[in-house]
Amino acid sequence: MPELPEVEIVCRNLNKILGRNSRVKSWLFFRQDLRFKIPQKQLLQLRGQKIQSLSRRAKYLIFYFEEMALISHLGMTGEWRTENSGFDRKSANYRKHDHVCLQLEGGVCLVYHDPRRFGFLQIVSKKQLPAYFAEFGVEPLDSGVDFGALTEKFKGLKGPIKSALMNQKLLVGVGNIYASEALYRAGIYPFKSSAQLSRESYGRLWGEVRGLLTEAIKKGGSTIENYRNAFGEAGEFQKGFYVYGRQGEECRKCHTPIKSRVLSGRSTFWCPSCQKK
DNA sequence: CTCCTATCCTGCGAGC
DNA sequence: TGCTCGCAGGATAGGA
């Protein structure tokens, strides 16, 4: 589920909830061995504190407290959902793989659910945040991104363009699905070397990345109107995929069968006619 | 340096 | 029906 659009949607939905109830009452821990061990003691120290704001950086959620920040990464299968106060392990709506419950004053609980446990929660001081994200690339949806400079960086790379597009040190938020989709939209062969791609192609690619992510946020957001029950779930956008998961099916534009091949261990999809070598 | 592989986990669908 | 296999949207350590 979570590439940039999905994390952005979770962030927006959580913000709606936190607008009303934002003070931490306490925490419940059902399981602590996520990707990293849950920092229980530090989380408990946040009791009584207000969540000042919640934002997204790359595929990470950041909850801001007085001195500290809580970082939440959803890994592959992480979800936050709401439950009413009184939720615990014995509640009827407790689900397998619910690991943490953040109880807010005012009667709402935020429950972190993550079957594969690739996600994590970390506490860092707010001062440490710039260092934490120092190695991360540009936000594709920010205004004022220097895409010319990004193009030059990409042109200095050796590997295939799809790998570069997924490298979070250059550009954040694009994962395996949106990489294939963006390259399709831009008419770029995924295995083409980053260095050999023309500046014109890069110009198209950045435009398509932004358009794609924006559109995905819009579609996901529309399905998740009833965010209190369903936020965190994938939206409608998968219906609009042009290539992802469509190997053997016809290209929506030219009817050529979509191909797929593994690149760096990740399934890669493209239309051999629309995306020429 | 850069690139690829394996790995952390559970669930699901395909195929037998 | 029930089993095994392969694969899944992230990120990183370690080897070549």
pLDDT at A150: 95
CA A131/CA A167 separation, integer angstroms: 18
Give the neighbor-by-neighbor strand order of the sheet with A68-73: A53-57, A60-64, A68-73, A120-125
Q: What is the DSSP letter of A35?
A: S
Helix (H, G, I), strand (E, B) or coil at A24: strand
pLDDT value at A1 more than 80 = no
Judge whether residue A222 has pLDDT over 60.
no
Look at A229 and A5; give whichever has higher pLDDT: A5
Protein-to-nucleotide distance from the CA of A35 to the C1' of B11, whole angstroms: 18
User: Residue A156: what pLDDT?
Assistant: 92
User: Which pLDDT score is estimated for A219?
Assistant: 85
Residue A228 reports pLDDT greater than 50: no
Instruction: Record the tokens describing residue A247, joined without a space.
Output: 């190997």
Q: Which nucleotide is nearest to A115 (CA to C1')?
A: B10
Interatomic CA–C1' length for residue A255 and nucleotide B6, angstroms: 37
Q: What is the pLDDT of residue A55?
A: 97
Bridge partners, residue A103, by sequence: A26, A109
For A64-78, what is the mean pLDDT? 95
Percentage of chain A lying above the pLDDT 70 cut: 95
Select the more confidently predicted residue: A229 or A63. A63
pLDDT at A20: 76
The mean pLDDT of chain A is: 91
Query: Does residue A261 approach strand C to less than 7 Å at its CB?
Result: no
Ramachandran region of residue A186, left (φ > 0), alpha (ψ -120 to 50) or beta? Answer: alpha
For the ranges A3-7, A17-21, A177-181, A207-211, the lowest mean pLDDT is seen at A17-21
Calculate mean pLDDT across residues A219-229. Answer: 47
Cα of A133 vs its chain's centroid, Å: 15
A59 C-beta less than 7 Å away from strand C = yes
- Quote the pLDDT of residue A2: 87
Instruction: Verify if strand C has an atom below 7 Å from the CB of A58.
Output: yes
Q: State the pLDDT at residue A250.
A: 93
Q: Which residues of A are catalytic?
A: 2-3, 59, 266
Other C-beta atoms within 10 Å of A264: how many? 11
At A86 the three-state DSSP class reads: coil
CA of A76 to C1' of C12 (A): 15
* pLDDT over threshold 50, residue A178: yes
State the pLDDT at residue A230: 42
- Return the closest nucleotide (C1') to the Cα of A264: B4
Give me A271's structure tokens: 């239309």
| Cβ of A195 near strand C (distance < 7 A) | no
At residue A233, the pLDDT reads 53
User: Which pLDDT score, from 0 to 100, does residue A234 have?
Assistant: 52
Across the range A184-213, mean pLDDT stands at 95
What is the mean predicted confidence (pLDDT) over A73-88?
93
Residue A195 has pLDDT above 90, yes or no: yes
Cα A90 to chain centroid, rounded: 31
- Which amino acid, residue A20? R
Cβ atoms of A123 and A44 within 8 Å: the answer is: no
Element (H, E) at A28: strand A24-29
pTM of the model: 0.94
Mean pLDDT of the region A77-101: 94
Task: Decide which of A228 and A215 is more confident.
Answer: A215
For residue A239, the model assigns a pLDDT of 78
pLDDT tier, A73 (very low <50, low <70, confident <90, very high otherwise):
very high
Residues with CB under 7 A from strand B: A 33, 35, 96-97, 115-118, 157-160, 163, 263-265
Output Rg (C-alpha) for chain A, integer angstroms: 20
| Predicted confidence (pLDDT) at residue A147 exceeds the cutoff of 80 | yes
Q: Residue A223, CB, less than 7 Å from strand C?
A: no
How many other CB atoms are found less than 10 A from the CB of residue A11? 19
Give the SS3 label for residue A252: coil
Residue pointed to by tokens 């615990």? A88
Distance A147 CA to C3 C1' (A): 52
